[in-house]
């Protein structure tokens, strides 16, 4: 089961399962959306009021901080499949090239490799992209029955079709059983990104 989500800036992305597209253009709209989302996910019982409040506050703080660094698209995963919770977040923002804007005749693969030497360059539907992966291992608590957990952060740089700038996609996934299947999953999600609006090179930030 997949669904196509469209952002306010003219990006379409196909995601599996159930995701929320948190609006970032208006704080009041974001607060109302998050409140409805948390109530639907957590439940409306009085005994859950504190949980709802804490969850809403956490989402809103994250959204506010995201806006502060230029994020324009904030997607939150709720379920990978019906009944299978899957907490993950995808944030997207535009950023300039770290060096000169590549010309139309340049091969973007070597340009990306030189600009982001720590990343891995892969060719996707839109052309070459670069990906960085960071894995963190930890435990759920200090108790004897605590379990090991794995968290993953992925960062992608996807050139816009007119090469004027990069789409920076950051993915955070906590509490994973293993990394590789989920890294591949997000490779496919990023590969599904469609730039709906024509991009004018004179509009680059």
Strands lying side by side in the sheet with 194-195: 2-6, 11-16, 194-195
> Among residues 88, 89, 87, 123, which one has the least CA distance to residue 108?
123
- Distance from C-alpha of 189 to C-alpha of 116, rounded to nearest angstrom: 21
Q: Which two tokens stand for residue 185?
A: 């999953």
Provide the whole-model pTM. Answer: 0.82
Q: What is the pLDDT along the chain (205 residues), one digit of tens a residue?
A: 788 998 888 899 999 988 888 888 888 888 888 888 877 776 767 676 777 777 777 888 888 888 889 999 999 888 876 666 778 889 999 999 999 999 999 999 999 999 999 999 999 988 999 999 998 877 666 666 666 778 889 999 999 999 999 999 999 988 776 667 888 999 999 999 999 865 444 444 3
Q: Evaluate whether 59 touches 34 at the Cβ level (below 8 Å).
A: yes
Largest separation between any pair of C-alpha atoms in the chain? 62
Contact 15, 191 (CB under 8 A): no
């Amino acid at each position: 089961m997949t669904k196509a989500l469209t952002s306010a800036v003219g990006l379409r992305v196909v995601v599996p399962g159930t995701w929320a597209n948190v609006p970032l253009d208006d704080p009041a709209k974001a607060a109302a959306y998050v409140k409805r989302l948390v109530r639907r996910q957590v439940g409306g019982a009085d005994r859950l009021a504190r949980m709802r409040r804490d969850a809403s506050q956490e989402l809103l703080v994250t959204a506010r901080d995201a806006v502060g660094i230029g994020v324009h698209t904030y997607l939150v995963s709720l379920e990978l499949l019906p009944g299978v919770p899957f907490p993950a977040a995808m944030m997207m923002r535009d950023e300039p090239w770290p060096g000169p804007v590549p010309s139309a005749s340049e091969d973007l693969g070597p340009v990306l490799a030189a600009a982001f030497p720590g990343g891995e360059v892969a060719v996707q539907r839109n052309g070459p992209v670069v990906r960085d992966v960071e894995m963190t291992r930890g435990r759920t608590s200090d108790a004897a029955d605590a379990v090991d957990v794995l968290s993953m952060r992925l960062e992608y740089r996807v050139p816009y079709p007119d090469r004027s700038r990069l789409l920076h996609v950051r993915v955070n996934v906590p509490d994973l059983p293993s990394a590789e299947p989920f890294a591949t999953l997000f490779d496919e999600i990023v590969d599904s990104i469609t730039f709906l609006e024509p991009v004018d090179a004179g509009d680059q930030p």
